[in-house]
Structure 1
Amino acid sequence: MPIPDTSGVPVFADFEMLKSKVNEIVQKYNNLLVALDTLNVVELDAKVVVAGSITGDKIKAGTITADKMDVNELSAISANLGTIVAGLIRGIQIFGSYIATAEGTYPRTEMDVSGDLLAAYYDADTWAKIIPFLGPTIQFKSSGQVGGIVFLGGKLGLTGSEVTVPSWSAFVNNATSETLQEALDNLQSQINSLDARVTALGG
C-alpha cells in the first residue's frame, strides 16, 4: 500500500501555511481511502472488516461468519465442520461410520458400520435390515414377528413362524427344470401304481 508523502512545515510557519498543509494532508489521505478498494493490500490487521465484497486468491481467518458463501470449489477440507444443514449434497465419494435419512425419527434409512449395515425403518417395530456379521442375514420385522434369510456355511436358511409359497410349482430344479409339484405328482403316481399291484396280488 503506498504511503502518502507529507513533508513538514517551516519552524516559523504562519496560520495560512499551517492551514494549507492541513488541507494538503486531508486531501492526500482522502484520495488514498477513496482508491483503497483498487490497491494491492499486502497485509491487513483488523478486528472487524466491513465490506460488500472481498475477492482474493487466498483468505485466511480464524473465523468467517457469513449469511452466504458462493465458491466454485472447496478442497482439502479436513476440519470438523460440525452440523451441516443443506438442501442438496452431491459427491463422488462420501465416507462416514453412520449415515441416516432422519435423526431419531421415523421413517428413516440407516447405514451403520458398527451395527446393522443397512436398515430401513417404517417405525421402531416395522423394519428390514441387512446384517453382515457372522452369517450374512436379511431380517424383517412386522406386527411383532421377526423373520429372515440367513446364509451360513454354504447353506441358505429361512426363519419365521412359517414360510408360504404360491404353490409347489414355484420350486424348480435348476438341473432338470422339474418343479416340486411335478416331482410330488410323479411320486404319487408310483405309489398308486404299487398300490394297484399289491391289490392285484390279493394283498
Structure 2
Amino acid sequence: MPVPNFQPLEQGASLDRTNDYIFGFIRRLNDFLAHMDTLNIDELNADVINAGTINAALVKVGTALNSGGYIQIDSNGLTINDGTKDTFRVGLDGKPIMTGGTVRSNASGYPKLEFNSDNGLISAEQDANTRINLRSNGVSGNPQSLQFISSGNMAFLLAGITTVAEFIINTTNAMDINISSGRDLRLYGTRIFLESFSQTIDNATGQTLQGALNSKANAFTGASGTVYVSATSGGPANIPITFSSGVRTS
C-alpha cells in the first residue's frame, strides 16, 4: 500500500479532537506497518527479520558473505555461489547440482558418504581408516579406479592406459588376492602371462611348476647330442636335431 498522508493536528484542538487524532494515527500506522510493500519500501536495513512468510520474485543474501558469495532464491530455484562459481543449485524439479557434499548418519561423522568433484571422488567411509573410493581421475596416471582401503592397505581396480590399454587388479604388499569359485574358474585371452614358473605354486603340495618340470626332465635318461637329417628323401643330411637326456630340445 502507498505511504499514508498524516495531516497535522490543528492548533487549539479540543481534548476529544486530540484523542480521536491520536487513536486514528495509531490505527492508520498499524495498518500501514501491517501492509508494507514495494509501494512504500525500496530498501530495508535490519539485523533480524522475523517472518512467517516472505513472498518475493527474488530473495538474495550476500552482503555478509566472504569473497562476494551469495545465496539466491528466484523463480529458477535456489543457488549458492562462492563468489566465483555456483557451488550448489537446485531447481523446481528438486534435482540438486553441487560441486561437493557429505552425507553423515550421525554427529560423529561416520559412517559417511562424500562427494568431491575437485578430486573426482565418491567415498563411502566406515571410519577414518576404512573406506571405498570411486575415482574418476584415478591414481598412478590411470583415469579411473575403484579402491578398497583398510588400515592403510589398499586393493584397487584400475581401468586406463599406461603403456597399453589395460584393466589392472592390484594391492599393496600387505594384502593377498584370492579368486575362488564354487564351480570352474576359466581364464581366456590371446595369451596368458605368468610372472615365472618358479612363482606358480601347487596349493596342495607347495611345489612350484618349475620344480615339477625339472623333476620330469630329470626322469629322462636318454642320450644327449645332435643328429642331422635330410629335408627330402634321398637328400643330404643337413638339418640338425638336438636331444638332451633323450628329450628333443630343438
State the SS of the aligned residue for 1:8: coil
Q: 2:219 maps to which residue? A: none
Aligned counterpart for 2:174 among listed residues 141, 144, 154: 144
Amino acid at match of 1:9: L
Change in CA separation of 1:98 and 1:38 when aligned onto 2, cut-off 3 Å: same
Amino acid at match of 1:128: F
Amino acid at match of 1:109: N
Q: 1:51 maps to which residue? A: 51
1:99 aligns with 2:116: no
Q: Could you report, residue by residue, the CA deviation over 1:116-145 in whole angstroms, capped at 9, with x for unpaired residues?
A: 531321523241231646325513227736
Normalised to the residue count of structure 2, the TM-score between the two structures is 0.43
Amino acid at match of 2:130: Y
Q: 1:109 maps to which residue? A: 133
Q: 2:4 maps to which residue? A: 4
Q: Could you report, residue by residue, the CA deviation over 1:86-135 in whole angstroms, capped at 9, with x for unpaired residues?
A: 48xxxxxx954331323544231230526353132152324123164632
Structure 2 residues not aligned, in runs of 5+: 66-72, 89-98, 105-115, 178-189, 202-250
Q: 2:101 maps to which residue? A: 84
Q: Segments of 4+ in structure 1 off by > 6 A?
A: 37-40
Aligned counterpart for 2:162 among listed residues 115, 121, 134: 134
Amino acid at match of 2:135: M
Q: 1:174 maps to which residue? A: none
Change in CA separation of 1:86 and 1:79 when aligned onto 2, cut-off 3 Å: same
Q: More relative contact order in 1 or in 2 (CA 8 Å, sep 6+)?
A: 1
CA contact (8 A) 2:149 2:155 kept: yes
Distance in structure 2 (CA, Å) of the matches to 1:160 and 1:14: 113
Change in CA separation of 1:45 and 1:157 when aligned onto 2, cut-off 3 Å: farther
Query: How many equivalent pairs are there?
Result: 146
Change in CA separation of 1:163 and 1:55 when aligned onto 2, cut-off 3 Å: farther
CA contact (8 A) 1:139 1:146 kept: no
CA contact (8 A) 2:155 2:175 kept: no
Q: Percent identity at matched positions?
A: 17
Q: Give 1:19 shift.
A: 1.8
Q: Give 1:41 shift.
A: 5.4
CA RMSD of aligned residues (A): 4.3
Amino acid at match of 2:162: L
Q: 1:18 maps to which residue? A: 18
Q: Give 1:45 shift.
A: 2.7
Q: 1:118 maps to which residue? A: 145
CA contact (8 A) 2:146 2:156 kept: yes
State the SS of the aligned residue for 2:13: coil
Change in CA separation of 1:144 and 1:45 when aligned onto 2, cut-off 3 Å: same
Matches within 5 A, 1:28-43: 28-36=28-36, 42-43=42-43
